[in-house]
């Protein structure tokens, strides 16, 4: 079963960077992963909450990742998300 | 169908038989006329954005009535977070359209009437709240665009509704029947009404007992019998008929207004939300105006974002972007724009729960927000025109640019920095023209002045809410006055 990563965006009223670039980087770095912006049946391994600024106002209380949830507020945060996906023990 | 796509919305409007007149002729549909289509496109954007994952956190929300995901424009605010996200959504929509996207007025009417009907029922034993909740539920389920109509023609401003020489200058009940009411009158300045599914009518001022027939609120579909609208003119509107894109400035989006006539329109009982309870007319007006003054702290900010970007690009294309005074003007524009946003967010964060359970903004801060909106966009446009230079109002037409003999001269002599095509420079100047004195100036300038109430209306509310007595006590305490 491929790694499942659920993406959740903030609403993007005044983003300081291109939030969709995070998804593009994830898809490039983890081509085998199942990366989706919408809910699917069954659990997700990771949840990435991609926020356009430090306010991080996206609603995500209802989202759970078996191996964790990462909240990104700048492009720099991609590194910690990628590291978490790489290091996760999904066995 | 809880959420329509943009295309489904367009088709749903096309299917309606809305009676629209413009230039003395009947228009078949707002969906198919080049002057009206940009207005419809702005509303279409509110449907399309709701289906995009990167915007849905602002554009959609769970209905407290059905539990289903709905477009936020149909929502009854359940928290201060909802109020804040409303403003953020409006900023986003302003950024994406650079125009009035029109659905705010219905959303603001929803929330004002929701709490007012509840309190009216508590006092008078009426059943308006149930009528209204049923209407909201159906609006959410069918994802309607609902216009909110408040402004009456008003005739002699020194006279109350019932004292006017012509009694129809404020919309009124002319007949009360077992199955409903018949109303006559007009509502002015209705942005987007020609591409809405329904209209909610509200009274426009606080009223006394003698104005009973004027204290009326209801909803009807816009293809209701005896209802028709006459489109208002806008500066540069017929450029949209010329078949060129560049000269329009914003060829995709816009907003148009209409004078809407209710010439003996029947309203069934289940769509009546106020009918003679004059003591609740003022509350409804105050709450609607409060929500709508909050709205301007989002929508105008989004449009301002586009205008600031356009001015900065104009500076780049002119080769003036490194000049310190140009940088400072851009900073000033940002400062003004973010100040508007600050009060929009502040009145939302300081919101509170009504007796009906929905959330109302802080009225003082909402009125401060709108008072700033009556001023700052004018200064932002002045600075944009300063940075753009005179070419924004003297440039030749797109047809001249495309002309085989004239075009090369325009290309040669109207180029700014060498790396930027002349056409791109002209495009950005036309966009600035559109926002500062073209069709979009209706929304960004004069609507900023008079929309949601003219400046004096906010000053009256600021005076009422300002708590001057407490400030006097503070001064006395510091000055040690007993």
d(CA B397, CA B233): 21
- B251 phi, psi to nearest 5 deg: -80, -10
Taking the Cβ of residue A53 and every Cβ of chain B, the question of whether any pair is shorter than 8 Å is answered with no
pLDDT at A40: 85
**Catalytic: B469?**
no
A25 lies in which domain range? 1-39
**Catalytic: B120?**
no
What parts of chain B have a pLDDT lower than 50? none
Q: Taking CB atoms and an 8 Å cut-off, how many pairs form between chains A and B?
A: 44
Q: Is residue A70 part of a domain?
A: no
Residues in chain B within 8 Å Cβ distance of A38: 53
CA distances from B352 to A7, B284, B356, B357, B363 (A): 32, 16, 11, 9, 10
Q: Is residue A16 part of a domain?
A: yes
Q: Is residue A48 part of a domain?
A: no
CA nearest A11: which of A58, A74, A49, A78? A58
Contact B156, B165 (CB under 8 A): yes
User: What is the band of A87 on the pLDDT scale with cuts at 50, 70, 90?
Assistant: confident
* Interface probe with B: pick from A5, A13, A23, most Cβ of B within 10 Å: A13
Q: Is residue A33 part of a domain?
A: yes
Region label for A11, one of left (φ > 0), alpha (ψ between -120 and 50) or beta (otherwise): alpha
User: What is the band of A90 on the pLDDT scale with cuts at 50, 70, 90?
Assistant: low
- B457 phi, psi to nearest 5 deg: -60, -40
Report the DSSP pairing between strands B198-201 and B216-221.
Answer: antiparallel
Contact B89, B59 (CB under 8 A): yes
CA nearest A81: which of A35, A42, A41? A35
**Catalytic: B369?**
no
Which of B60, B77, B97, B100 is catalytic? The answer is B100
The yes-or-no verdict on residue A88 having pLDDT over 90 is no
Q: Is residue A61 part of a domain?
A: no
Nearest to B89 among A11, A19, A20 (CB): A11
pLDDT at B1: 66
**Catalytic: B296?**
yes
Nearest to A59 among B55, B57, B59 (CB): B57
Q: Please work out, in degrees rounded to the nearest 5, the angle formed at the alpha carbon of residue B473 by the alpha carbons of B470 and B478.
A: 130
CATH superfamily, domain B283-465, is Butyryl-CoA Dehydrogenase, subunit A, domain 3 (1.20.140.10)
User: B interface toward A at CB cutoff 8 Å?
Assistant: 53-59, 81, 84-85, 88-89, 91-92, 95, 302, 305
Q: What is the pLDDT of residues B85-114, one digit of tens each?
A: 999 999 999 999 999 999 999 999 999 999
pLDDT at A39: 84
CB atoms within 10 A of CB A16: 12
**Catalytic: B104?**
yes
pLDDT at B234: 96
The yes-or-no verdict on residue A89 having pLDDT over 80 is no
């Amino acid at each position: 079963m491929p790694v499942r990563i659920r993406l959740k965006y903030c609403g993007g009223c005044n983003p300081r960077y291109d939030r969709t670039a995070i998804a593009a980087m994830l898809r490039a770095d983890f081509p085998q992963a199942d990366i989706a912006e919408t809910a699917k049946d069954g659990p997700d391994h990771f949840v990435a909450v991609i926020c356009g600024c430090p306010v991080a106002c996206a609603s995500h209380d209802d989202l759970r990742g078996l191996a964790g949830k990462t909240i990104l507020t700048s492009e720099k945060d991609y590194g910690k998300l990628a590291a978490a996906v790489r290091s996760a023990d999904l066995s | 169908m809880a959420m329509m796509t943009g295309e489904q919305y367009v088709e749903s409007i096309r299917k309606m038989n809305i009676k629209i007149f413009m230039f003395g002729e009947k228009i078949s549909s707002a969906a198919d006329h080049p002057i009206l289509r940009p207005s419809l496109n702005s509303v279409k954007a509110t449907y399309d954005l709701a289906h995009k994952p990167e915007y849905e956190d602002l554009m959609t929300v769970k209905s407290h009535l059905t539990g289903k995901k709905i477009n936020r424009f149909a929502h009854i605010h359940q928290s201060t977070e909802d109020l804040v996200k409303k403003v953020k959504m409006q900023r986003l929509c302003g950024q994406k359209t650079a125009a009035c996207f029109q659905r705010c007025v219905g959303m603001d009417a929803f929330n004002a009437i929701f709490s007012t009907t509840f309190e009216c029922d508590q006092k008078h034993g009426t059943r308006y709240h149930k009528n209204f909740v049923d209407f909201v539920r159906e609006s959410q389920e069918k994802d309607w665009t609902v216009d909110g109509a408040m402004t009456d023609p008003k005739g002699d401003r020194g006279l109350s509704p019932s004292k006017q020489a012509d009694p129809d200058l404020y919309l009124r009940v002319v007949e009360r029947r077992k199955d409903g009411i018949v109303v006559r009158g007009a509502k002015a300045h209705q942005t987007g009404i020609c591409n809405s599914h329904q209209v909610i009518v509200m009274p426009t001022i606080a009223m006394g007992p003698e104005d009973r027939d004027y204290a009326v609120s209801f909803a009807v579909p816009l293809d209701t019998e005896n209802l028709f609208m006459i489109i208002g003119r806008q500066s540069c509107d017929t450029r949209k008929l010329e078949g060129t894109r560049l000269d329009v400035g914003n060829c995709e989006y816009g907003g148009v207004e209409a004078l809407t006539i209710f010439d003996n329109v029947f309203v069934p009982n289940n769509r009546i939300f106020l009918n003679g309870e004059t003591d609740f007319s003022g509350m409804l007006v105050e709450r609607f105006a409060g929500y709508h003054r909050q709205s301007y702290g989002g929508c105008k900010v989004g449009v301002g974002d586009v205008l600031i970007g356009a001015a900065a690009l104009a500076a780049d294309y002119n080769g003036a972007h490194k000049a310190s005074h140009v940088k400072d003007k851009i900073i000033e524009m940002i400062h003004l724009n973010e100040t508007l946003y600050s009060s929009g967010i502040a009145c939302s964060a300081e919101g509170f729960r009504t007796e009906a359970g929905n959330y109302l903004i802080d009225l003082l801060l909402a009125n401060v927000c709108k008072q700033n909106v009556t001023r700052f966009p004018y200064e932002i446009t002045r600075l944009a025109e300063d940075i753009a230079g005179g070419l924004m109002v003297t440039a030749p037409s797109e047809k001249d640019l495309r002309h085989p003999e004239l075009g090369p001269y325009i290309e040669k002599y109207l180029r700014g920095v060498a790396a930027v095509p002349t056409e791109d420079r002209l495009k950005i100047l036309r966009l600035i023209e559109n926002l500062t004195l073209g069709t979009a100036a209706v929304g960004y300038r004069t609507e900023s002045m008079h929309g949601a109430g003219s400046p004096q209306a906010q000053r009256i509310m600021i005076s009422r809410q300002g708590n001057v007595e407490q400030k006097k006590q503070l001064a006395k305490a510091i000055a040690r006055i007993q």
